[in-house]
Structure formats: C-alpha cells, structure tokens
Amino acid sequence: MAGSGMTGHAEVRIGISGWLYPPWRGVFYPKGVRQADELEYASQQVTSIEVNGSFYSLQRPANWARWRDTVPDDFIFAAKGPRFVTHIKRLRDIDAPLANFFASGLLTLGRKLGPVLWQLPPNLQFDEALLDAFLARLPRTHGEAATLARHRDRRMIGRTAFALGAPADRVLRHAVEVRHPSFETDAWRSMLERHHVASVIADTAGKYPRLDWTTADFAYARLHGEQELYTSGYDDESLDRWAVWARAHLEAGRDVYAYFDNDIKVRAPFDAMALIERLPRPTGHARPS
C-alpha cells in the first residue's frame, strides 16, 4: 500500500524529532506562542513530527488524543518505541512491554499514525536470533496492534486506549535505527527485508553506522547533525543532497520520512522547513502562510 496517506502514490514527510524545547521559544516559536500551542504551530510549518516522549515513558491516552486533534487532518506522526523495550529489557522478555506500549493510546492517532521507530542502544550488538524474534513480534496492522494491546499487564488498568481509529487492516510500519558497527552485515539487511522493516539511515557526524539500505516499501532518515551530533545544521549543499536522496525513493514509489534531531542550536525546525521547500508537498498539505 503505497503512500503514507494511502493515496496510491508515494509521499514525502519531513519534520522534527520532538517539539518541546525551551531554547526554541522566541527563535522558532514566535514570542507570545504559549507552550500549549507549540505543537499546533510546529505542525503548520512541517509535514510530520516524530514523537520522542514515548521513548522515555508511556504516554497517556489523553496525550495521544490531544496531539491527534491539534494537528491538521493530513498530518502524520511517527512514534518512537519505548527505551524500556530497547535499552532496559534489551529486546528480551518484552511481550508485556510491547503490549503496554500499543495499549497506551498510540492507536488513537488512527490515520495520523505513521511508522514506529525503534532505536537500539550503542552497546547492543547484532544477535541474529534475538533480532529476528523481536521483528517477528511487531504488529503489522492496526488490528494486530490492538490484539496485542489486549495482553497489557495489570498496571495499565485505567490508562489504556486501543480502540481502532483506522481500519483494522491499515498497515503499521516499523523502522529500526542501530548504533553498533556489528549491524553492518548482510544478515541484518536480509532480516529487515524479510520482515519488511525499514533500515533507518542515520546521519550522526560519523559516530554511528550510516546504513543507507532499502529494506522496505518506505525510507526513513534521522538527521542528528552533519558535523557535530545534535548541534550542527545543514547547509544548502547538504540539503540538496538529502533532497536528491528523497526524490530517488519517491521516483521508485517509496514513501519517505525524514526527521531532524539537531535541536541544541535550534537548527532542526529551520533545516526541516528548508528541505520541505526542495520537495513536493503531500497531497492536500498547504504551505504555511
């Protein structure tokens, strides 16, 4: 099913990783914009946002519902899977944590839910059996995610929401970002292809592997900083190269998701907006006035 909006053609979504950053206030967010209105403002400047709060803790259903209702109808969120699964449990004994995540209100986003991002820790090496089991556990449709959510543990009582906001057969995409060099292997690439999971291309100023592989029907990039991790921005030449990368995937019929995570010096939102200007807008997505 091509197209993030299931429109039948490939679309590109460019945005930021998170939106609640105090240094952005008065720089990206105009003076006078309330913190409560920052998501609304950001969603009018970019075409997608990666929710990174879900990495640090399970969000409440009311949060997901509020975010859904704040952004434009054609907006798309990516959601970062919890570090409890990836960094603390290290992909072992994760049936209940996965169920808890999908029961926490994520599915409330409905058609506004894009890929789920799973970022692995730098000290997690490639383990074929462990990774294959993890990828096999991931739900591939909203209906499968809702079924998994029913197996949440008791501590989730009173804070769950997994009624479907989209058709049960709507595809649920997954992307994995790795940070250990042992993943630079054909075995990992083949495994991702077999499970139809995207390999994240991460621009990390050379600190972590940069795997520019096509392993699914969509592409996913995370731009953490070209020269200095989380800090440096992207000049016109760099943005032109990323635009070429995105167009190549679009022309091949693959959706593209790209998120800027170079937030420290308030470069992320402006770099995202500059890349958006170099690429076609998703169908129905108007340019900000």
User: Is residue 134 situated within a structural domain?
Assistant: yes
CA distance 110 to 166: 5
Q: Please give the pLDDT value at position 157.
A: 86
pLDDT of residue 150 exceeding 50, the answer is: yes
Question: 255-260 and 218-223 as β-strands: parallel, antiparallel, unpaired?
Answer: parallel
CA distance 178 to 175: 10
User: Is residue 92 situated within a structural domain?
Assistant: yes
Segments of 28-103 assigned E as strands: 48-51, 76-80
Domain count, the chain: 1
Q: Please give the pLDDT value at position 169.
A: 98
3-state secondary structure of 78: strand
Band (pLDDT 50/70/90 cuts) for residue 158 is confident
Q: What is the mean pLDDT of the segment spanning 217-235?
A: 92
User: Is residue 286 situated within a structural domain?
Assistant: no
3-state secondary structure of 35: helix
Q: Beta-carbon neighbour count of residue 102 at 10 Å?
A: 26
Residues ≥6 apart with Cβ < 8 Å to 60? 104, 105, 159
Give pTM, 2 decimals. Answer: 0.94
Query: ∠198-227-215 over CA atoms, to 5°?
Result: 10
Residues above pLDDT 70, as percent of the chain: 95
φ and ψ at residue 104, rounded to 5 degrees: -80, -5
Q: Please give the pLDDT value at position 2.
A: 39
User: Is residue 287 situated within a structural domain?
Assistant: no
* CATH code for the domain in which residue 201 is found: 3.20.20.410
Q: Please give the pLDDT value at position 8.
A: 61
Report residue 74 CA to chain centroid gap: 16
- In sign, the C-alpha dihedral spanning 102, 104, 108, 113 is negative
3-state secondary structure of 265: coil
User: Is residue 3 situated within a structural domain?
Assistant: no
Q: Please give the pLDDT value at position 3.
A: 42
Report the run of H or E that residue 260 belongs to, with start and end: strand 255-260
Contact 159, 101 (CB under 8 A): no
Which residue type, as a one-letter code, is found at position 21? Y
User: Is residue 5 situated within a structural domain?
Assistant: no
User: Is residue 108 situated within a structural domain?
Assistant: yes
Q: Please give the pLDDT value at position 284.
A: 58
Q: Please give the pLDDT value at position 275.
A: 98
Average pLDDT over the chain, rounded to whole? 94
* Domain range for 130: 12-277
Q: Please give the pLDDT value at position 6.
A: 45
For residue 169, give Cα distances in angstroms to 132, 143, 201: 23, 6, 28
User: Is residue 6 situated within a structural domain?
Assistant: no
Q: Please give the pLDDT value at position 289.
A: 45
Band (pLDDT 50/70/90 cuts) for residue 288 is low
Q: How many CA atoms lie within 13 Å of 146's alpha carbon, on the beta-carbon side?
A: 18
Question: 255-260 and 48-51 as β-strands: parallel, antiparallel, unpaired?
Answer: unpaired
pLDDT digits (tens, 9 = 90+) for 25-35: 999 999 999 99
Q: Beta-carbon neighbour count of residue 22 at 10 Å?
A: 8
